[in-house]
Structure 1
Amino acid sequence: MDMDAKYADLRRAAEETAVVDAHAHDLVAAGSTLPFIGCFSEADGDALALAPHSLPFKRSLRDIAALYDCDPSLEKVEEFRRAQGLSSITSKCFQAANISALVVDDVSTLDKTLELESHKAFAPKVYRVVGIETLAETIINEESVVGSSWTLDSFTEAFVAKLKSVANKIVGLKSMAAHRSGLEIDPSVSKVDAEDGLRKELATRRPLRITNKNLFDYIFIHSLEIAVEFHLPMQIHTGFGDRELGLRHCTPFHLRAVLEDKRFVKCQIVLLNASYPFSREGSYLASVYSQVYLDFGFAFPKLSVQGITSSLKELLERAPIKKVMFSTDGYAFPETYYLGAKWARDVVYRVLSAACEDGDLTIQEAIEAVEDIFRRNALHLYKLNVFHEKTTSIDDNTISSSSCLGKDDVILVRMVWNDASGQHRCRALPAERFYGIARNKGVGLGIAAVGFTSFRDAPAVGTNLTCAGEEIRLVADMSTLLRIPWSRNEEMVMVDMLTGSGEASEYCPRNALRKVTKVLLDEFNVSRQVLRMNFICSE
């Protein structure tokens, strides 16, 4: 069997999975002063003028031209962009990228940056990450007088209060320490040194741009404490980037002092940019520290194919697959999101198929890894409400799809949940209606139904639930979809209960279980795997 046929299901999974873009930046509006050639390189000045002679530039330009069906020249691509307009090309790029959710940070200082809400026109779900240094600078810069009356205590109070006020509205924090003072963060930085750092910063011109290392470390440590309190991941730029960072200060090994600090044994740190060229170091840290996760964005489209492939291979040499996440690190131009997704799919397929050839993975395990890397890991870490289709799977003897989506012989789909009395209940829908509407939009359920007793279909006395109350949306978790063995013309799928605003309902048993298992993990270090084994043993 040739390679293409042998790994056809793996390639299909890599190419068709709707991805969660776990780290990206804002788009910029038409008319921004940022040149489009910046899409291909972080260089500027004379160095940027030579970018067209790099391997990533040549490949990326051809890919964009193919998407736009125009000649593969920078002039023709830019001409097409101007003729079509920002909305049209952004829709085209995001649709081709097949992005189901976008996690956007707010650290961009580019000209004419779009508001977060604007991105919701192009991605089904958009979430926010707060840049801690950006927030600190905004708080200080709100006072217009140089040499203001800020003290470290008053600044800390304002900063902590602001961060806590948005903690339940965001999915993570981000630090750009690597760009300013390096990753040799001192978790024991003193208030005296931080106060001195703040005083020096306040003596400079406004708008303030923090560069003092002691103040940087102080802000980072307080932010990480809040991240632990609110169970928020902390994204950290590592490895390469723009010219201002000192690369030798950006190796993730410098974070060991933070990782060894007992205050942060429950923190979640995401090393961005594949830690390139320190990918092996990042992989090692993720393998020995439970707090460390890996994100391989920014390598696309800034590296050659061999560079991207070798970097991802190094990340997977030691790191658990459950800790490795995809992102585009897209910024400014929608083409960066498209290129990031396109080449990630290709390189993930290359690396995982090679792992199968080497005997490191079975094909089924590789298909599961695709789902983990492109979706599940980010959904779990950032606690995102994004629902998706089941990935392709295979059995031990044949390479075929067992997914029943869209099969002509499926007549009925049962949407199943457990009620408060522990009983299985379901809504049965014609397959055409389920796949046409309910799969994406869900179905309604009167809130009284969650309080039904085991002996009659009416709310239990004392629940105060009525049919006139609010409605719950039953939304299918497509990762649980399966063909019913005793009724081959039917499928069943577990559902999550959501409120009208899309949040998890307080009455949802699955959400309650997630909360309990999270408490067990965070406070008692009891994982889901341990719980599962205990249940199996008790049976």
Structure 2
Amino acid sequence: MASLNSLRHLVQTHPIIDNHAHNLLSRDVAADYDSYPLESITSEAHGRALENARATLPLLRATNQLAELYDTPCATWDDVVAAHSLWVENDYDGLIRRSLEGTQALLLDDLLSDEDVESYDWHDQFTGSATKRIVRIEAVAATIIGDLMSTERKEGETVWSKFRQRFLDVIDRAMDEPAVVGFKSVVCYRTGLDVDPYSGDEDLLTASLHRVLDSGTRRSGYRVEEKPLNDWLVQQTLKAISFKKRAGIVKPMQFHTGLGDNDISLVKANPAYLQPLIEQYENADIVLLHSAYPYTREAGYLACVYPNVYLDLGEVFPMVSREAQEKILRESLEITPTNRILWSTDGHYHPETFWLANKQFRQALEKVLVEYVQLGDYNVPQAKMAAADILFHNSNRLYKLNLEPNIVHDAAVSKVQPSLPSDPLDAFLLQNPDIEYVWMQWLDYTATTRVRMFPVEEFVRIARKERRVGISQAVCCMLHDDTVLPQGSTTGQFYMEPDLNSLYRNGGLPSTAAPSASVMTFWRSEDGTAFEGCPRSTLQNIADKIHSEHKMQLKFGFEIEVVFMKAAKGQRTGHVTEYNPATTNHSWSQMTSETRQLIPLLEEITRTLASIGIRLEQFHAESAPGQFEFVLPPAAPLTAVDSLLAARQVITAVAEQHGLRATLHPRAVPGGVGNAAHAHVSIDPPTHEDAFLAGILDHYPSITAFTLSSEASYERVRSGIWAGSEWVTWGFQNREAPMRKIGPGHWEFKSLDGLANMYLAMAALLAGGNIGLDAKLALTVKECTVDAATLSHSQRADLGITTMIPKTLEESLENLELHTSNTFKDLLGTELVKNYGTVKRAEIVRLREMSEEARRLWLLERY
């Protein structure tokens, strides 16, 4: 019973990504029942046929359920209408907020209507994430035709060529628009799903376009209902989707299938007609909307046998009876993989459409999954995974939303379900009962990971605050070899406090090692408050400040570049004298004979990371010999850095098991392309993105003291090696700009490598951005579309590019200590800035005492 309770709880509370819905009505028309009858929330009927809706089971069921939403008794549909009107008049926003409770993201086909509805981004205030758009291609075509007819009409080929080019331009722009995550076709309504997978000839299409032009007016509009033209719209959109997917841009195509109002051809609404199209455009992801009812099995078959097809379960909730909904869900599960099933409400106009659909779907999903568990078809973990995938994860992956589910914990469920304790330590130990040791870790100012190891019983005492572990404050002024600098003090200590949210199982260690786990720590003072100088606290504090004061969600995503190297040992001493790349027949994104020999290593790294909860987005060969890149998913700032360090630890350990050294050295191979640790930074909403970026650019020479934190780091600060070149600037998709803009509020920061303390590096970046937000700085540096180093002085001046990236660590430290604002230092902590500079200057002296070869070997062995 306890396990089933946990399943029921998950189904009823897991956040939802609604992958297909429409805009809500504006408040002033939300009670205009002549234009927008409330009965339409449970019926596809229109006009006189809608008068019969009150006698249907779906509407009667809705009448009873809506009493819960309105918080008032509803015995008749008239009561529902009255309650709706009252909510609209007194608290329309409150009604919407209630109706969208549990919905974390909306994907809106916002071209259903351009009148009386709110804009897509207006809906953001009611969900936990930015609303995204689904572009309806027939509406795009109709708009273009209307625009053409508002100007002087040309003859034959000219009209067609203008329409063709404008349509392709709109689709191309939408492919690059971050707010657009997909496309939709209602060809099912217009000419049926028997779409010809190949384009028609120009004469046929021209004639088809002219028939559309002749059938409408500028006042009535133009309905695109010509088979050659409708098929062409679908073909061209799928071609664009297929082409962009090769470049890593994934935007699926949704098709209305099955259930619809009376202007649909029910026979040709069968998704089986799409099979030739699905085969022709195998690189385009296709979503079959609305359960394809009554053709659910046909749709499920297509989603089963074609890897580019997904089945959406929307619209039938709340349009059909309870028994029909459960049957549709069971038919969907007959052969369709649960990682190919999506959920949507098809909510539109009235908030109640969202509330009823979500409520009824959760009811059906709970009943079906619980019964399958009771019958032994699923076990509880399998059923929970299926539910979470359908409600959230499948859409999150397909549409590349990169969201973290906002899980709501229910303490009552924890009491009856021992397998899901509320305490993260209990939960971890329950899932990993074999753990014998826990490594408590922190990252010092030299970016060295320091570790204390504890038997698990002792770690539990520490986590429960039954004992404390003190660390000498001397580490704030300590070099790699444990030398305490004169400026440091051997008196005093801070205490390590484990952050249980960062607890993970160690992976990649020798098979003889006992099972162990690692956890990152905060530094605490004697009285338990934050200790100034703690890198993790510094990052968390600045991130929290931006979130609370500017209402922005922050996310980081990291790219790990490493070079796999083989050690060469001296014959007499047996000591390592050199490291050489593991591959030399090697190039960017290529599979060579030597690269293929490393596939088992790469795959083992990927599997090991997945086993501890880190799922790579991709991995591939980079340009330098032996160099590979592993791309981590985005996450909140502290979580993202924790995952980065955990992933590096796994990569290093697995490589050692294969007899290789995985190094982060910025130029591990002399003459080869450097090793970076590029970071993706995003703010949501991107409303004040220019001010955020301006603050970073203003403080760039100080930020590099933390991000390019070794003299070796500056070997990458040069033009022509895709490392961000030499000038402080930015550019949209410009890989030779240190700040590459990718989309609204999303940049790739390139002046960063693996020798940095990543908590401090990202804290410095956010500190600059926060100053820009607070001061509402204007972005005076204009977009640069080329490598700024190739421009003349006057050309750079015209773009506002005036500052060079420092060429040495000393130069960066001087900017940090002498030329940056006090506000920047205060955000990071004045004591931290002082101690960090002390450590880094001493490190410069220590490394300069070595020969070039000795220095290179020293860094390769430590990073």
Which residue of structure 2 lines up, in the alignment, with residue 18 of structure 1? 15
Tell me the distance in 1 between the aligned counterparts of 2:556 and 2:521. Answer: 12
Equivalent residue in structure 1 for 2:148, among 143, 150, 170: 143
Of 245, 268, 272, which residue of structure 2 is paired with 1:253? 272
How far apart, in 2, do the equivalents of 1:404 and 1:339 lie? Answer: 34
- Mapped contact 2:555–2:681 kept (Cα < 8 A): no
The 5 A counterparts of 1:446-465 are none
Q: CA deviation at 1:50?
A: 1.6
Q: Residues of 2 paired with 1:144 and 1:387: CA distance? A: 46
Deviates more, 1:113-122 or 1:403-412: 403-412
Seen in structure 2, the aligned counterparts of structure 1 residues 438 and 301 have a Cα distance that, compared at 3 Å, is farther
- 2:121 is the counterpart of 1:113: no
Aligned to 1:313: 330
Q: How much does 1:403 deviate?
A: 5.7
The residue matched to 1:224 in structure 2 has which SS?
A: helix
Letter in 2 for 1:109: S
Measured at CA, do residues 320 and 445 of structure 1 come closer, stay the same or move farther in structure 2, by a change above 3 Å?
Answer: closer
Q: Which one-letter code corresponds to 1:28 in the other structure?
A: L
Alignment match of 2:200 (pick from 187, 190, 196): 190
How far apart, in 1, do the equivalents of 2:6 and 2:275 lie?
A: 40
- DSSP-derived class of the 1:137 partner: helix
- AA partner of residue 65 (structure 2): D
1:75 offset after TM fit, Å?
A: 3.8
Cα deviation for residue 257 of structure 1 reads: 1.2
Query: Distance in 2 between the 1:215 and 1:368 partners?
Result: 42
Q: Does 1:336 align with 2:341?
A: no
**1:399 Cα offset (Å):** 5.8
Q: Does 1:210 align with 2:227?
A: no
Q: Deviations over 1:473-529 (max 9, x none)?
A: 61647xx9xxxxxxxxxxxxxxx95323466653599xxxxxxxxxxxxxxxxxxxx
Q: Secondary structure at the match of 2:392?
A: helix
**Structure 1 counterpart of 2:94:** 88
Q: In the TM superposition, what is the alpha-carbon distance from 1:76 to its structure 2 partner?
A: 3.4
Identity %: 26
SS where residue 22 of structure 1 aligns?
strand
Matched residues in 2 for 1:99 and 1:501: separation? 17
Q: Distance in 2 between matches of 1:176 and 1:446?
A: 37
2:70–2:84 CA contact under 8 A, matched in 1: no
Which residue pairs with 2:24 in the alignment? 27
Match of 1:474 among 625, 637, 643: 637
Do structure 1's residue 299 and structure 2's residue 310 form an aligned pair?
Answer: no
Instruction: After TM superposition, give the deviation of residue 413 of structure 1 in Å.
Output: 2.4
CA 1:13–1:144: 2 relative to 1, 3 Å: same
Partner of 1:486: none
Name the residue aligned to 1:279.
296
TM-score of the pair, normalised by structure 1 = 0.76
CA distance in 2, matches of 1:443, 1:387: 12
Q: Distance in 2 between the 1:226 and 1:10 partners? A: 41
Distance 2:424 2:64 in 1: 34
* SS at 2:82 equivalent: helix
Using a 3 Å threshold, how does the CA distance of structure 1 residues 195 and 7 change in structure 2: closer, same or farther?
same
Shift of 1:416: 6.1
User: Taking structure 1 as reference, are residues 426 and 405 closer, same or farther at Cα in structure 2, changes over 3 Å only?
Assistant: closer
Deviation per CA, 1:435-466, whole angstroms, max 9, x where unpaired? 9x96995998999999999xxxxxxxxxxxxx
Is the 1:473–1:499 contact (alpha carbons within 8 Å) kept by the matching residues of 2?
no
Residues 363-419 of structure 1 show CA distances to partners (whole Å, capped at 9, x for unaligned) of 11001111101111000000003212569999xxx86315646989597426769xx
Give the direction of change, closer, same or farther, for the CA distance of 1:429–1:44 in structure 2 (3 Å limit): farther
Q: Is the 8 A contact 1:414 1:429 kept in 2?
A: no
Q: 1:274 to 1:446 in 2, by over 3 A?
A: closer
User: CA separation of 1:71/1:414 partners in 2, compared to 1, >3 Å: closer, same or farther?
Assistant: closer
1:38 CA drift (Å):
1.7
Cα contact 1:24–1:105 (8 A) shared by 2: yes
Equivalent residue for 1:222, pick from 224, 232, 236: 236
For the residue of structure 2 that corresponds to 1:38, the secondary structure is helix
Q: Which amino acid is the alignment partner of residue 319 of structure 1?
A: T
Distance across 2 between alignment mates of 1:154 and 1:404: 63
Task: Check whether the contact 1:415–1:427 (CA below 8 A) recurs between aligned residues.
Answer: no
User: Structure 2 length normalisation: TM-score?
Assistant: 0.49
Residue 683 (structure 2) aligns with = 500
* Residue 461 of structure 1: aligned partner: none
Aligned letter for 1:185? V
The structure-2 alpha-carbon separation of the partners of 1:235 and 1:331, relative to structure 1 and needing over 3 Å to count, comes to same
Check 1:174–1:451 CA distance in 2 against 1; reply closer, same or farther (3 A cut). closer
When structure 1 is superposed on structure 2, of 226-235 and 382-391 the one drifting more is 382-391
2:5 corresponds to 1:8: yes
Once residues 164 and 353 of structure 1 are traced to their aligned partners in structure 2, the CA distance between those partners, rounded to angstroms, is: 45
Whether contact under 8 Å (2:209, 2:229) holds in the other structure is: yes
Distance 1:53 1:404 in 2: 50
Contact 1:183 1:254 in 2 (8 A): yes
- Structure number with greater CO (CA < 8 Å, separation at least 6) is 1
Measure the CA separation in 1 of the matches of 2:356 and 2:556: 44
1: CA distance, partners of 2:553 / 2:198: 52
Q: 1:99 aligns with which of 99, 103, 110?
A: 103
Structure 2 CA distance for aligned equivalents of residues 376 and 250 of structure 1: 28
Q: Which amino acid aligns with 1:26?
A: N
The alignment of Structure 1 onto Structure 2 pairs a total of residues equal to: 460
Selected match of 2:259 from 237, 240, 248: 240
Task: Report how far residue 124 of structure 1 moved.
Answer: 2.1
| 1: CA distance, partners of 2:182 / 2:545 | 28
Provide the C-alpha distance between the structure 2 equivalents of 1:426 and 1:440, rounded to a whole number of angstroms: 23
Match of 1:266? 283
Q: Is the 8 A contact 1:240 1:276 kept in 2?
A: yes
The CA deviation at 1:198 is 0.7
AA aligned to 2:132 is: Y
Q: Is the 8 A contact 2:554 2:684 kept in 1?
A: no
CA distance in 2, matches of 1:43, 1:360: 38
Question: What is aligned with 2:170?
Answer: 162
- Compute the displacement of 1:53 (Å): 1.5
Q: What SS class does the counterpart of residue 101 from structure 1 fall into? A: strand
Gaps of 5+ in 2: 30-34, 245-249, 427-462, 466-496, 504-517, 530-536, 564-634, 644-678, 686-744, 753-863
State the 1:299 CA deviation: 1.0
1:396-411 matches, cutoff 5 A: 400-402=419-421, 404=423
Match of 2:160 among 152, 160, 171: 152
- Contact 2:554–2:681 (Cα < 8 Å) also in 1: no
- The separation in 2 between residues aligned to 1:429 and 1:375, in whole angstroms, is 36
**Partner secondary structure for residue 314 of structure 2:** coil
The aligned counterpart of 1:456 is none
The AA in structure 1 aligned to 2:258 is: G
Aligned counterpart, 1:76: 82
Structure 2 residue aligned with 1:512: none
1:175 to 148, 166, 185: 185
Q: Partners of 2:151 and 2:214 in 1: how far apart?
A: 7
Instruction: State how far apart, in whole Å, the 2-side matches of 1:178 and 1:253 are.
Output: 12
- Amino acid across the alignment from 1:25: H
Instruction: Describe the shift of the 1:362–1:392 C-alpha distance in structure 2 as closer, same or farther (beyond 3 A).
Output: farther
The offset of 1:187, in angstroms, is 1.2
Q: CA 1:243 to 1:427, structure 2 compared with 1: closer, same or farther past 3 Å?
A: farther
| In structure 2, distance between residues paired with 1:376 and 1:447 | 18
CA 144–339 in structure 1, closer or farther in 2 if over 3 Å, else same = same
Whole-angstrom CA distance in 2 between matches of 1:100 and 1:347: 20
Moved more, 437-446 or 321-330: 437-446
Q: Which residue of 2 aligns with 1:129?
A: 134
User: In 1, are the aligned partners of 2:499 and 2:519 still within 8 Å (CA)?
Assistant: no
| Stretch of structure 1 that moved more, 102-111 or 292-301 | 102-111
1:47 aligned residue (41, 46, 49): 49
When residues 333 and 229 of structure 1 are mapped into structure 2, their CA distance, relative to the original with a 3 A threshold, is same
TM-superposed deviation, 1:136:
1.0
Hey, what's the Cα distance between the residues in 2 that align with 1:69 and 1:447? Answer: 43
Query: How far apart are 1:353 and its partner, in Å?
Result: 1.6
